[in-house]
Amino acid sequence: MDCPRDGVTLEIKDHEGIEVDSCPQCEGMWLDHPELDQLEDTRFDEDDSKGTVAYAVRPSDIACPQCSGPMKTFNYRAYDLPLDVCEAEHGFWLDKGEETRVLELMDKRIKDLKRSGSAEAEWGKMLGRLKTKSFSDKIKGLFR
């Protein structure tokens, strides 16, 4: 396969334990369709909690290195990270550094979910305290 950006032959390399096709010139990489999920799973493997992958889908300026068919560009998981995907679902093209950004966003998702869970637990505790008679009496006493 050749790089969709500069036409250089892609080389197979190991990235985070995943065999990817990488461009030695522009340092972009081709991930076969399941490999994007595998890359994310190196940080966070709860698929139901990851969110929707593609937002703001639009035409891409590159062709699929596997089938030469059209690709689409999308915003990765609603973040400002444009990735390219083969319309025939052969895979994803990540420009230099985008694989690192994917991993950073997975780390951020983990932190956000933990913070959200913690906030929900605290909210539940606070609501429980509101139901106590002593607290209710105190609130009523403020309005007498």
User: How confident is the model over 59-114, as pLDDT tens digits?
Assistant: 999 999 999 999 999 999 989 999 999 999 999 999 999 999 999 998 988 888 77
The three-class DSSP label of residue 96 is: coil
pTM of the predicted model as reported, rounded to 2 decimal places: 0.76
The pLDDT-based confidence of 35 (bands split at 50, 70, 90) is: very high
The domains of the chain are located at: 11-142
Alpha helices in the chain (DSSP H): 33-41, 47-50, 98-130, 133-142
Q: In what order do the strands lie in the sheet with 11-15?
A: 11-15, 18-22, 29-32, 91-94, 82-86, 70-76, 54-63
